[in-house]
Structure 1
Amino acid sequence: MNWISDWALPKISGLFKREVPENLWHKCPACEQMIFRRDLEAALHVCPHCGHHMRISAVRRLECTLDAGFSRIELPKAPADPLRFRDQRRYSDRLREAQVKSAMDDAVAVAHGTIEGERAVVAAFEFAFMGGSMGAGVGEAIVTAAKLAVLQDSPLVVFTASGGARMQEGAISLMQMPRTVIATRLVKEAGLPFIVVMCDPTTGGVTASFAMLGDIHIAEPGAMIGFAGARVIEQTVREKLPEGFQRAEYLLEHGILDMVVKRGEMRGVLARVLGLLRVPLVAPAAAVEPEPEAPPAEEPAAPAQP
């Protein structure tokens, strides 16, 4: 029977063997339901069972926001390792690894095009690139996006997803906070809308700088938005924080956000907002004073009776 098990069965199995692709199913981190990957991609990585919004890449964010035919721009190169920082590994090694995994030079991608016909410059953070941390490269990307928006007379839309400043760049990373604030001023002084869409998570130096300076603040459902973590705040104030603290819905109730919009509806909402903000102002017509009416002509006096 050796020839059957050693030769015949492998040959027969090889005829009917089908390769099953990896990552065919994805488990929702919120409800732990299994989702067919093709269905998940069609739903823009929103769980069809519980509505949990999973993180998506910056490139995918641009694809589902801008109309077909948009153009990505090449961003200026920032110093790779200005401080020659090293902890358990060299910062330059971490940077190269993140660039290979994400196929991006840094944690922000910038493109220009239209959103349902409305012109816009869009910048999107890549959280998978070192937690979307803001270093010199990210600051340069936001400044470049702002200058491009002014040059093209287009609104600026930024999708944020960041853990804050990049510790490997030290004070250079902190300097990007005022730089990005100045970038937002360039857009506003040109009379152009600046819209911030906060995704999960938006924290640290990004929240403390340009992310809270938008004309309109939008967030995805369930996004965590804040500066410090909830545990740090609880230890500082020594009080139990309310349920849902630092989540998008809580911030909307307290007036910090203008809207919480589902990912599938984001493109249409952005197009409507941009259309409203870009409607040209019509100067009121000058008031024309009516000409004064001529006084009625006096009737001739009747002749006196003899």
Structure 2
Amino acid sequence: MTSSTLVDIDLKGLLPKVASGKVRDLFAIDEDTLLFVASDRISAYDVVMQNGIPGKGALLTAMSVYWFKYLQNKIPTLKTHFIKQSLPADVETALGDQSLSSSLRERSMQVRRLKIIPVESIVRGYITGSGWAEYKKSGTVNGIAMPPGLVEGQQLPQPLWTPSTKAEAGAKDENINPEKARELIGDVAVAKRVEELSLEIYTTAAKRAEEVGIVLADTKFEFGLTSDNEVVLVDEVLTPDSSRFWPKQTWEQNLGKQQPSFDKQFLRDWLVGQGLKGKEGVVIPEEIARQTAAKYKEAYQMLTGENTLGA
């Protein structure tokens, strides 16, 4: 895994940039294909930090590629936007710089260009985060009534589809109830498929995580649509950026309090402790960046069984 940090993605103008997100930059290869390039940027509480996490983009890409392949093998009806992990050959040739092209290659995915469904499709198997905060106030999660007496970190009776809005850059996502999400999607059949797929993918991934000693507490999916309204899994999938991973062996003894994690909860906790939650312009100390990178790497190694990243 690349040890240096790449925060700004520069393709030397070889491909037109379509969009720039909190972590990924998207470039147009042709009218049907995009290049997703994952930087080492990291966000927390909807704010991007000033500096990045070394090697993070390559790890997120490798982890997403692993899951796209794993899930398609386990769920034959699942379609994804993933084509291959590589730069276009002409772009790599034109870049010339071997170290730059190598760094970009390991953090790049060629994907199908699709119409994006305008909701974040979140599945929760355990009560934590914003779900726990809402439950403490009203006994609900995304407006869904929950049993009384739950404690933080407890497994829910069954996984819940708890979508949120897909906010524009600079805005915050808002938790919404499933009925509101169906209205936003606008097509009853598409909304039903998004919900069903989200729950099936979560259940499949949670089983895999449990096999290697990880609790998949919750995760976020995004979906796109083909021209004939087929629902397709897009973006990243089941990474430490989009999921909460907890050590299984310490989960039960930590019920009722914050769980140790293999994701960016470590960074979130540091921000809260420093009074920096939601603040702009935060520079992560080198030691916090290093420890966050180590958490991500540990999750990758446990889930994939690989010690090094590979295309």
Q: TM-score with structure 2 length normalisation?
A: 0.23
Computing the radius of gyration from Cα coordinates, the structure with the larger value is 1
Could you tell me the TM-score, scaled by structure 1's length?
0.24
